[in-house]
Every structure is written in C-alpha cells, then in structure tokens.
Amino acid sequence: MQILEFPTKPAQILAGKSTPKSVLTVVSCYDDYLPNELLVEFEFWISGVVMNIVALIGILGNIFSMVILSRPQMRSSINYLLIGLARCDTVLILTSVLIFGLCAIYPHTGYLYYYHYQIFPKISLVVYPLAMIAQTASVYLTLTVTLERYVAVCHPLRARALCTYGRARLYVVGILVFSILYNLPRFWEVTLISSTHPDTGLTIYCVKASDMRTNETYIKVYIHWLYMIFVYFLPFSLISFFNLMIYRQVRRANKERQRLSRSEKREIGLATMLICVVIVFLLCNLPAMMINIVEAFYSVIIEYMVKVSNLLVTINSSVNFFIYVIFGEKFKRIFLLLFCKPRGRQSPDDGLIHDDSSFSNGDASNRNSGRFQRVGTTRSTSTKLSNCSMRTIRTTVRSTRAPSPGPIVYYPARETLPRLAQPPTITRSSSMFPDWGARENGTNGGIMMASSGF
C-alpha cells in the first residue's frame, strides 16, 4: 500500500530463510506468510542496504538544512515552513529505517535476531502511527510551501499580509494537529502477539492486524478512500495546479528579466528551486499512489513495487538539502561558511553577511530592512562627518571583536553599534543602515533590497 503500510498478515515481516522449516509449523508468528527467496533477497538489497544508506545521508542533510535555515539572516516565513518540512522528513526517514530498513536484514543474513523478534514488534505499536503522522504532515507542508510561493510570485501585494513568520508558525501547528487527528485510528490497527519456541523456550513477538484493521468497512472507507483523497488526490491536485501557475509566472518573468528588480529576481529564483522540490516530491510519491489505486480497486498487492515505492518516499525525504545547495546561492554560501571553511583560516570579512541578506517576507520585525535607501546624495558637512564617523565605528567594532573559534554568520544591525559621545547631526539622506560597502567602493547610491530566503 502506501509508504509504511503495515503488513496485514501477522508475520509478514518476521519470516526469514534462516528459520528451520520445522519451526514454521509450531510458531504462530510464521503461519500466515512465507516469502520466496527471491523476494527476501530483493527486499534485503532495496530496503536493507540502499534504504539505510539513503536514510543516513538524508538525516545528515536534513540536520544541515535545519541548522542553516534557523540562522537569523535566514528568518522568513518560507524558511520556517522548510524547517518544519525537514523535521517531518527526518521523522519519516527514522521510522522507515526502523520498520523497513533494519527488518530486511535478518531474513537474508540472520543478523539482528534480537531486534527482529524482540524490539521491532514492541516499538512498532508506536512507530507505525508516528510514521503515518509524519507522512501526512510532510505532504501538507509541501502543499503549504507551494501556496506560499504562489502568493509571493503571483500575488506579491498580498504576500506582506499572508506570508508572515507568525502565520507560518500557525500553518505548521495546524498541519501537525490535523495529521495527528487524522491518523489517530492507526494506534489501534495492530496488536502484539507472542509465541514460544518449542525447542528453546524463547518467546518470539510479532505484530498482528487488529479486528478493527481487518474490518471490511474500515478498510474500504478509511484505508482506501479517505487515505487516497486526503493524502494523494487532494494535495497532489492542488500542488500540481499551483505549481503550474508559478511556472507560468516564472516563464513570463524570465522574458522580462532585464526589467526585474533585485528582489523580484530572488523571488523568481526561490520559486524555481521550490518547483524542483515539488517535482521530486511528485515523482517519488506517484508510484505509491498507483499501488494504492491498484490495491483498492483490484485487491492486488505488487510486493516488489511496494518495496521500491517505500525506497522512493525515503529518497524524497532525503534529497531536499541537495536541491537547496544546488539552487540556493545564499544557502550554499552559509553552508560552506559554517561547515566547510577551515577553522584556522579566516579572512577579514569572514562571518559578515551584509545587508542584502536581510529578510522582510511580511514580518513586521524586519520591514525596515526592506526599504529602499540611497546614501550620499546630500553634500552637507554633517553628512560627510556622519559617514566618516560611521566608518570609524565600523573599524572599531571589527578590531575589538574577540577572535571567533569558528565561522560565524553575523547579521549587522544598527543596535549593535556603540553610541558616540556627541553624535553629529545626520540628515535624512544618510538615515539608518548606511551602505558601507557601496561607499567604500566609491559608488553613489547602493540599494538595500529585501529577500525571501535563498
């Protein structure tokens, strides 16, 4: 069935080729399911080897993504949604490993016997519903990211009111609550049974479908129809529609790229990156949806396709970090600064990301950073004195800063500068946040832009 469909047969994941055939006739955990040797080997390589490797890479990538997107200069509504998506994907990867990856090792190799018969059956009562909650939350967070980009690209005038950091937090909380409530019945779908080995006397545990899970009405209404509607048809249709609208807007904008402002180019670039995220999401989840349709209407389960679809969903939860690095210039810059730069070699500008990294994606706390400011257009003596003083202050701040133990991303703000004993009069043209970099290079009129993230 879907990614993490729990086996409906009592011993579907507890039988192995290393088990003596004499045991199969007396241990009830083995009675209902005897996979062939080819399927056991196929599952070992797909789930036991490839899935576990992909999961390890995906967990590390999601951790890097959460660290980078949590930086102060990356604060925005879209990045908060992506942090929530990375968290749900991490939980989904972990549950996939516990349910599929580790369980596929024993039937083929004979290793992990204790986990196979003692640990997994007990933790599956919680891990299985948690996996379904994480999967549902991941799907709807992807839909929310698409909606956020649709508003920002196609309706930019509404973005400041709808795409705020506070609203993003409400969206994430609402999705989590919905995912938990929708998947509550999963906690009562399986039960734990035990069997005693006739020779050794050891107790072997396995999971069995509960009476509710085997009820025909429950399977038809909740397992098949509600699941396909709320986890596949509805979100997939909306994601496809809104991404089509975004794609049309991106194509139209690329034709007029010479007339786009700096912030508009960043919005288009971010939208392009998230379109790639959604395309990967659809490609990796479509096989699972097709398997659900075939099972619902024809009562046919293609075991080999189930193993492959589980792997594809795990891959989908693991590759977003690489998409961010490839398409997100700012994301890649901060990643290299935090994790790849040698600790002992830092240039004078290390740890300093200038004002073009600021965000005002509808957040009231960052709106000043998105204003257009022109510096140096007034030739008054007070303005020149102000600029000279500000340069002196900047030099003082850098010289008195303690050596950093490692790369640090620093987000300069006006409040961090020391106050002058007798501050000179500053004219309106040299108001807050002077563009120091532009003045030093001799330009006249550096423009500070707002950005939505990458």
* Three-state secondary-structure class, residue 252: helix
CA–CA dist 126, 189 (Å, integer): 11
Mean pLDDT confidence for 120-147: 95
Contact indicator for 289, 29 with CB cutoff of 8 Å: no
Q: What is the mean pLDDT of the chain?
A: 75
Burial bucket for residue 203 (CB in 10 Å: 0-12, 13-18, 19+): exposed
**For the chain, what is the domain count?**
1
Residue 195's pLDDT band, with cuts at 50, 70 and 90, is confident
CA–CA dist 102, 120 (Å, integer) = 9
Q: Is the pLDDT of residue 164 over 50?
A: yes
Which of 6-10, 61-65, 70-74, 325-329 shows the lowest mean pLDDT across its residues? 6-10
Using the predicted structure, report yes or no on whether residue 2 has a pLDDT greater than 70: no
Span 199-218, mean pLDDT? 87
Domain of 310? 37-336
SS3 218: helix
In a domain, 451, yes or no: no
The model's pTM is 0.71
Q: What is the mean pLDDT of residues 189-203?
A: 79
Q: Does the residue 94 lie in any domain?
A: yes
Q: Considering the domain boundaries, does residue 438 fall inside one?
A: no
What pLDDT sits at residue 345?
53
**How do 190-196 and 203-209 pair as beta strands?**
antiparallel
Split at pLDDT 50, 70, 90, the class of 335 is very high
Token pair 């939980």 in the structure block, residue: 91
Q: Could you tell me if 184 and 206 are in contact, meaning their C-beta atoms sit under 8 angstroms apart?
A: no
Choose between 290 and 343: higher pLDDT.
290
pLDDT tier at 139, thresholds 50, 70, 90: very high
Q: How confident is the model at residue 62 (pLDDT cuts 50, 70, 90)?
A: very high
How many Cα atoms sit within 13 Å of 411 on the Cβ side?
12
Q: Assign 445 to helix, strand or coil.
A: coil
Q: Is residue 19 part of a domain?
A: no
Residue 409 lies in a domain: no
Nearest to 95 by CA among 34, 140, 36, 136: 136
pLDDT single digits (tens) 221-280: 999 999 999 999 999 999 999 999 988 888 887 777 666 667 777 777 788 888 899 999
Q: Is 185 a domain residue? A: yes
Among 112-126, 239-253, 426-440, name the most confident range: 112-126
pLDDT, position 28: 55
Split at pLDDT 50, 70, 90, the class of 300 is confident
For residue 152, being part of any structural domain is answered with yes
289 token code pair: 């949806």
Kindly report the CATH number assigned to the domain that includes residue 301: 1.20.1070.10
Q: What mean pLDDT is predicted for residues 36-49?
A: 93
Query: 35 pLDDT band (50/70/90 cuts)?
Result: low
Tell me, what's the pLDDT at 198?
60
Residues 331-335, mean pLDDT to the nearest whole number: 92
Query: Which distant-in-sequence residues (6+ apart) come within 8 Å of 376 by Cβ?
Result: 383, 387, 429, 430, 439, 444, 445
> Considering the domain boundaries, does residue 358 fall inside one?
no
- Residue pLDDT, tens place only, 70-115: 999 899 999 999 999 999 999 999 999 999 999 999 999 989 989 9
**What was the pLDDT predicted at 389?**
47
Number of Cβ within 10 Å of residue 145's Cβ equals: 24
